[in-house]
Structure formats: C-alpha cells, structure tokens
Amino acid sequence: MLELKQLESWLWKAVCTVRGPIDTSRLRDYILPLIFLKRISDVSDDESEQLVKEDRNQEAAVRFYVPPEARWESIQRVTTGLGQYLNDVMQAVVRENPQLQGIIDTVDYNATIVG
C-alpha cells in the first residue's frame, strides 16, 4: 500500500521535473489555470452527457462551454508543441466564456524562462 509521505514525495519530484526553472512562487500561475481547465472540462463532459440522456439542449445548460479541442481528452493526446497548444486552448475557452478572461489566460505556456 502506498503511504501518504511516499505519494507526496513522488508528486513533489514530478512537480520539480515539470516546472524546470520556474520559480516555485510562480508555479501556481501555471498550475492553477490547468487545474481549473481540467475541472471545467470534466464538468462540461458530465453535464453534456446528462443533458443528452435527458434529451435537452446542451448549449443552454452547461456552466462553461469547453470547445472540443480544449477538453482534457484532446489535451492528453498532444505530443509536440504543448506550450503553444495550451495557449491556444486557453484563448479558445476565454472566447467561449468571456468571464474567464484574465483568469485562465494570464501566462504564456510557450515561454522560455531562464534562471
């Protein structure tokens, strides 16, 4: 059985690998929009599925519309150019949900940070 300390250690190592040279204090600027995107993608999928079962209009009842290319399932398939893809995805979500402007589109996932 996996112990909590071991899991925390593995997750921290993964974060350090992913973040590279990004200052730990700025890591949240990159991670939180991704976590939010993952959440609204999951919720959008669940809500859409439920509406289809109820034979109701999907567009009218979902809290946030997440375009197909911005759904987590699509993001997982990207193997090259991920930074630019994430920038494009965040912009697509903001276009569909203007209330998210300045919330999820604040960083450049394609930027190169030194030091």
Q: pLDDT higher for 40 or 18? A: 40
Q: What is the pLDDT of residue 76?
A: 92
Whether 18 and 31 have beta carbons less than 8 Å apart is answered as: no
> How many residues in total does the chain contain?
115
pLDDT, tens digit, 9 for 90 and up, residues 37-95? 999 888 887 776 676 666 666 555 567 889 999 999 999 999 999 999 999 999 999 99
- Does the global pTM surpass 0.75? no
